[in-house]
Amino acid sequence: VKGTNIQENEYVKMGAYHTIELEPNRQFTLAKKQWDSVVLERIEQACDPAWSADVAAVVMQEGLAHVCLVTPSMTLTRAKVEVNIPRKRKGNCSQHDRALERFYEQVVQAIQRHINFEVVKCVLVASPGFVREQFCDYMFQQAVKTDNKLLLENRSKFLQVHSSSGHKYALKEALCDPAVTSRLSDTKAAGEVKALDDFYKMLQHEPDRAFYGLKHVEKANEAMAIDTLLISDELFRHQDVATRARYVKLVDSVRENMGTVRIFSSLHVSGEQLGQLTGVAAILRFPVAELSDQEDESSSEED
């Protein structure tokens, strides 16, 4: 962090140029005259590991399961499920089967309680043997019986992989599996890539439902027509405070009108593509033809 000193002390004179390094465990105070909703949301997400954990994992064996959230920097165990499973006896497997079912049910409950499917893009189910297959079969059979929309809608996010045990340390092997690494690369941006793809398709097939450029998007928002707003995080770093406030107001307004807001990272390829479209675009709920008509009229008047 660099800048001029505004408070004199024995080390740095008033107005002198100064640099300081921020590092873990060094306390600092960050002051800002006005905190807008976008900045506060980003700080909240940065401070809550659950927001950056777009990969979840269930590492299990018979009678033991760990439900974890995986962030780029750490693995958090959110739930540990332990159930004593009796051995199968000759001619009588009912006790074993009942205990196993009870175990599976507790794991399903832990998944629903601790995994936020709005954030998580992939759920690894890792186990030795056939435990993972049996568990997934049980989970989705129950989801169909109870009409559990949360699990059914996110079924494609579950990925079965091998691990040597149900202990947390076995997760490392699962994460090294080539099938897993290819699936996990870019999980955070997967939603943004899909949104941008949807926008391009809409622009091609129904141009009256796909707008870009601040003025056009603001007009669509006035008509409460925005279903999904695509906006680059670069715009919130604009040098002009009034312009920044305009983008924040747009984001707040779209959310108030029950629209979805996707903030793209300018460091990702999808963010770069959005930047080429002025950095702000929208997929509309219904066609808004007047805008393009007005534009045609104004351009013909100018001619």
Which segments of the chain belong to CATH 3.30.1330.30?
190-298
Whole-angstrom distance, CA of residue 273 vs CA of residue 199: 12
Domain with CATH 3.30.420.60 in the chain: 54-185
CB contact set of 111 (below 8 Å; sequence gap of 6+): 56, 58, 67, 123, 139, 151
- Domain spanning 54-185: CATH 2.60.40.10: no
Question: How buried is 22 (Cβ within 10 angstroms: 0-12 exposed, 13-18 middle, 19+ buried)?
Answer: exposed
Pairing of strands 226-232, 260-264: parallel
- Average pLDDT in the 72-90 region? 83
Which whole number is the average pLDDT over 275-283? Answer: 94
pLDDT tens per residue across span 124-137 = 999 999 999 999 99
State yes or no: pLDDT of 297 exceeds 60.
no
Q: Write out the two tokens for 260.
A: 């979805």
pTM over 0.75: no
Tens of pLDDT along 31-60? 888 888 888 888 887 777 666 667 899 999
Identify the residue whose tokens are 């700080």.
Answer: 43
| Residue 87 reports pLDDT greater than 90 | no
pLDDT of the residue at 50: 64
Average of per-residue pLDDT across 15-30: 88
190-298 domain in CATH 3.30.1330.30?
A: yes
CA dist 100 and 102 (Å) reads 5
In the beta sheet, which residues pair with residue 231?
263, 280
